[in-house]
Amino acid sequence: MTPSEACFNLVKRFEGCRLEAYPDPATGGDPWTVGWGHTGPEVHKGLTISQDIADAYLLKDLTHVADTLNHVLEIEPTQAQFDALCSFVFNIGAANFVKSTLLRKLNAGDVLGAAMEFPKWRNAAGRVMPGLVTRRAAEQALFQLGG
C-alpha cells in the first residue's frame, strides 16, 4: 500500500513546514528537524532548504514509512488505517513501532485494541506533550474510520 492524500494532509497538519532547521521541541536539541518534520544526518543547525526540497523529503520519508509498514504488517489494513499508521510511524520512528504493543495487537487481529494504543504515545522527553495528545486523537480517529 501507499499513503494517500489524507496521510500527507495529516502529517502536514501536525508537522507544519519550516524551511530553516529547528531543534527538537522536547529536547531543545537533537534531532534537528527541517521541512515537514524531516530528520537525518544532513539536518543541522543553520540549514535552510527550499519548499521543493521539503516536499521531496516528505515524499521520501513517507515512502520509507510505507515500505516499513508493508513489511511488518501481517494483516491487510484499510486505506484509512494505513494512512493513520503512516502518520504515527513517521512521528515515533520505525524502530519504536516494530516493538510496539500497537503492532503486536494489530497483527494478532485485535484492531480495537490496537486503536486504543494510539493515545499512549503522547510523551516526549518524559512529559506529556499537548500537541502529541491532539495528534494521537486524530490518528486514532482516522484509524477507527477505516475499521
Q: How many CB atoms are closer than 10 A to CB 3?
A: 23
Mean pLDDT confidence for 15-30: 90
Split at pLDDT 50, 70, 90, the class of 147 is low
Which grid cell is 7?
496521510
Q: What is the largest CA-CA distance in the chain?
A: 46
**Can you tell me which residue has the cell 512521528?**
91
Output the pTM of the full model: 0.94
Q: How many CB atoms are closer than 10 A to CB 105?
A: 17
**Hey, is 51 helix, strand or coil?**
helix
Mean pLDDT confidence for 37-63: 97
Whether 15 is a known active-site residue: answer yes
Q: What is the mean pLDDT of the chain?
A: 96
Of 146, 80, 71, 75, whose CA–CA distance to 107 is shortest?
75
123-124 and 127-128 strand pairing: antiparallel
**Hey, is 103 helix, strand or coil?**
helix
- Which entry of 5, 15, 74, 139 is annotated as an active-site residue? 15
pLDDT score of 27: 78
Mean pLDDT confidence for 60-88: 98
